A and B are shown apart, each in its own frame.
Chain A
């Protein structure tokens, strides 16, 4: 059941992205920014946690899930360390994903050569 719900919710997120892309002819960067920011605020209003309960990885793997982690980290740390927590919490919580992308990106750039177009 987790797998089915992951598939459905994750797929729906991508459909929303696709509709925005096709209808408004927006560059992918705008969609990604919108998704992350909406993930942050949906978490703040307590909606994203419910979405994760329903959609499992379908809610955490898409980019709003990244925003969700950002907000979660910022709010958690803020409750412990105040202002400094709000400043560092989001970065801390999402550091593994960002660092991994950076690390793997650099390694791939060293190993591979760009495909000729």
Chain B
């Protein structure tokens, strides 16, 4: 296929990521919103179906979401979803679970100790490090400024 100046510009315009950000944001909104809504549904099932207190139900819903995400990651579905959803599958807690399961699975070939176990927090580690650090700081601040 030959391009002249005009048709080349057309092709370039087609591939410039201008609308892409809008589209990405839309997909992130839909998928992220859907995952959070699913969390709310699971929470309500625990509250109304099993008489779990609301705070505990929220934690249990997170655990269920983490489990679902782990399973989908195992089947290779979560990463396919991620290609469409972008941040929509990264920002929810399911993305955190995915970031734990992925390296665990990927490094399996290097053994269950030095591979899976050593790398399981490879991606999630930074989140835990800075999360725990800042929680400690905030805890201290709450002691100092009562």
| Interface residues in chain A, defined as those with a beta carbon under 8 Å from any beta carbon in chain B | 2-3, 6-15, 17-19, 21-23, 28-29, 31-33, 35-37, 40-41, 43-44, 55-58, 60-63, 65-67, 70-71, 73-75, 77-79, 82-83, 85-87, 89-91, 94, 96-98, 100-102, 104-115
Q: Which residue of B lies closest to A14 (CB)?
A: B32
Majority-rule SS of A interface residues: helix
* Residue in A29, A44, A55 whose CB lies within 8 Å of B126: A29
Interchain CA distance A33-B131 in the complex, whole Å: 7
B34: CB under 8 A from chain A? yes
| A65 smallest CB distance to B (angstroms) | 7
Q: For chains A and B in complex, what number of residue pairs have CB atoms within 8 angstroms?
A: 271
B126 & A109 in contact (Cβ 8 Å cutoff) = no
Contact (A96, B30) CB under 8 Å given A23-B21, A31-B87, A105-B101: no
Q: Chain B residues with Cβ under 8 A from A77's Cβ?
A: 139
Is the Cβ of B136 less than 8 Å from the Cβ of A97? Answer: no
Tell me how far the C-beta of B135 lies from the nearest C-beta in chain A, rounded to whole angstroms: 3
Tell me the bound Cα distance from A22 to B28 in angstroms. Answer: 12
Tell me if A85 and B32 are in contact (CB < 8 A): no
